Amino acid sequence: MLSFGNLIVILLIILLLFGANKVPEIMTNLAKGLKAFKDTLTEDKDSSSKS
């Protein structure tokens, strides 16, 4: 499992690689992807329970 210190280091590396301006855009796209994934899982559960 990752400790708090490890997460800070990873976040700093991401910030250095992509820059401060690009990080919010990446997080927005990641959130959209996760939402689409959850919606798909919910649709699959609904369709399998109706069958």
Residue pair 23/14 in contact by the 8 Å Cβ criterion: yes
pLDDT of residue 3: 92
CA distance 42 to 38: 6
Q: Does the reported pTM lie above 0.85?
A: no
Task: Report the Cα–Cα distance between both ends of the chain, in Å, rounded.
Answer: 39
pLDDT of residue 29: 93
| Residue type for position 36 | A
> How many other C-beta atoms are found inside a 10 Å radius of the C-beta of residue 47?
9
pLDDT tens for residues 1-51?
779 999 899 989 988 988 888 888 988 999 999 999 999 988 877 777 765
Residue 24 CA from chain centroid, whole number: 12
Domain ranges of the chain: 20-51
